A = this chain, B = another copy of it.
Amino acid sequence: MFLLNKKKKTSGDKHIDQLANIVGPNEILYKKEDLLSYDCDGFVIEKALPKAVVFPKNTEEVASLVKYCSANQLPFLARGAGTGLSGGAIPLNEEVIISLVKMKKLISVDYENRQAVVQPGFVNLKLTNSISDKGYYYAPDPSSQYVCTIGGNVAENAGGAHCLKYGVTTNHILGLEVVLPNGEIIEISENGVPDSPGYDLLGLLTGSEGTLGIVTKITVRILKNPQGKQTVLAYFDDIEDGSHAVSDIVSAGIVPAALEMMDKVAIEGVEAGSFPVGHPKDIEALLLIEVDGISAGIEEQIDEILKVCHKRNVREVKVAQSEEERGAWWANRKTGFGAMGAISPDYLVQDGVIPRSTLPKVLSNISEISQEYGLRIANIFHAGDGNLHPLILFDARVPGETEKALKAGTACLKACADVGGSITGEHGVGIEKKEEMRFIFSDEELDAQTQIREVFNPENLLNQGKLFPTPSRCMDVKKIVKDTVAH
């Protein structure tokens, strides 16, 4: 470490020059004023400046950058659009940020085999826009899809409103090209044939939050547009009635494309945001339900959904009468997080998963947490798959309130873990939730995970300090590896 620091002090500029040699002088930022936009991602509570930001144009440049960093012991990490919500792209260790936004090509589309190949910086929604004229779309739809990149989606295993029926990112990734932390380029299932032999590296890399390698090419599954689609909006006076309606719909054998819920505080937020649609302010919960598929089957499912809602004492329920109305409902929902800015100076998004049947219990726990910490909490979430998003509203200008919000967030995650749930559904662990990993993993289980990181990322130069609790068990891991070698 002494040697490293000394090196840095005497040859900081040399590294910048060498990195610039790889990507070209216009593809690197290193002045403080340029680096400020890279001090955090969508998780804004911790910030730190990177050493530099480089913009490679192709896989070979990424590999050269990685080799250089590795040879010179420079920590580094990859960044997409920076919309991540758990701090996975924050340069805590003065990293060289390898930004992939200039690797943004749609390389090819193979309609016959239903797959497309994209560079990691390609924006999620652009894929659907590029293939919709042929009647196809890309399913994972995080709320940030108009700006987030598919590379970032792979890192975080991003979800979205329509993941109840269609699955999260990992269910749509058919192949990856990856630059390993030593600069080697590997292809995993490159031709998009599913279920590759050997260990499931595709699944392992997807959702590994940028700690195992840098994805430089992605083969994704594309889907044929459903023939038909109908959307229902249901208003409830009682949040438990709304929760039971969620379970009842799924128990009826319906798999909606989306099954979203918002509570009263969330509704206040979205109605104060950029896309109000006139939800009544005095209801306790709303459900936004979408069914898609073969046209002939949809009417029947909608009838069943309406029946369930009435059985559960819905105040009002309506079916979208036009594509415009449907679009407005979704815009209102999808800007939900951001809309909280209209009713609170700051907010913290949490992301827990629970068994669907525990929804009423956990929502009531969250309400107690809100009272305990004296902070309002809005709930806006993917109810169908039990993926909660408590939004903790706070004011960072009030001393101590940020810490209180963080503690309330942790308490929400604990409530999820306590009913047998998990601490993240789609936003990742990053730096935000690494301590909370202990809620659900034993030391042995964390060991198995950190040892996998060691395999890919033995020097831990790539995105260090993320995903696992600190002080890390690195020493133990080294010991285990040593023991292994000793045998």
**Hey, which bits of chain A sit against chain B, CB under 8 A?**
110-114, 135, 157, 159, 168, 170-171, 180, 184, 186-201, 203-204, 206-208, 212, 224-227, 247, 250-251, 253, 293-301, 353-357, 385-386, 420-426, 428-429, 433, 437, 440-442, 444-446, 448-449, 451-456, 458-459, 467-468, 478, 480-485, 487
Contacts and interface: CB of A to CB of B under 8 A. Distances in A.
Contact of A296 (B170, B201, B299): B299
Contacts of A207: 195, 199-200
Contacts of A196: 422, 440
8 contacts: A111-B251, A135-B253, A193-B420, A195-B422, A197-B422, A197-B424, A294-B298, A458-B480
A140 B417 CA distance: 29
A164 to B, nearest CB: 11
B197 A168 contact: no
Contacts of A433: 197
A208 B199 CA distance: 6
B448 A112 contact: no
Contact of A157 (B195, B251, B441): B195
Contact of A195 (B353, B357, B456): B353
A399 to B, nearest CB: 31
A202 to B, nearest CB: 8
Closest 8 CB pairs of A and B: A297-B297, A203-B203, A191-B420, A294-B297, A458-B484, A224-B253, A112-B357, A451-B455
B198 A437 contact: yes
Contacts of A159: 195
A189 to B, nearest CB: 7
A451 B425 CA distance: 29
A439 to B, nearest CB: 10
- The complex is assembled from copies of this chain, and their number is 2
A356 B485 CA distance: 44
A432 to B, nearest CB: 11
Nearest to A159: B195
Contact of A449 (B198, B440, B445): B198
B171 A171 contact: yes
Contacts of A251: 111-112, 224
B204 A199 contact: yes
Nearest to A192: B355
A197 B429 contact: yes
Contacts of A298: 294, 297
Contact of A357 (B113, B135, B208, B425): B113
Contacts of A198: 429, 437, 441, 446, 449, 467-468
Nearest to A456: B448
Nearest to A170: B200
Given A113-B355, A197-B433, 6 more contacts: A170-B200, A186-B442, A191-B420, A197-B437, A199-B453, A297-B297
Contacts of A296: 296-297, 299-300
A207 B90 CA distance: 34
Given A196-B422, A253-B224, A487 B458 contact: yes
A23 B458 CA distance: 40
Contacts of A293: 293-294, 297
Contact of A385 (B194, B203, B449): B194
A82 to B, nearest CB: 21
A160 B3 CA distance: 57
**Counting chain B CB atoms within 10 Å of each CB, which of A198, A294, A353 scores highest?**
A198
Contact of A250 (B114, B206, B386): B114
A388 to B, nearest CB: 11
**Counting chain B CB atoms within 10 Å of each CB, which of A208, A354, A456, A458 scores highest?**
A458
A181 to B, nearest CB: 11
Contacts of A483: 458
Given A114-B250, A203-B204, A204-B203, A194 B448 contact: no
A455 to B, nearest CB: 4
A12 to B, nearest CB: 22
Contacts of A212: 199
Contact of A356 (B113, B157, B441, B481): B113
Contact of A184 (B355, B444, B456, B481): B444
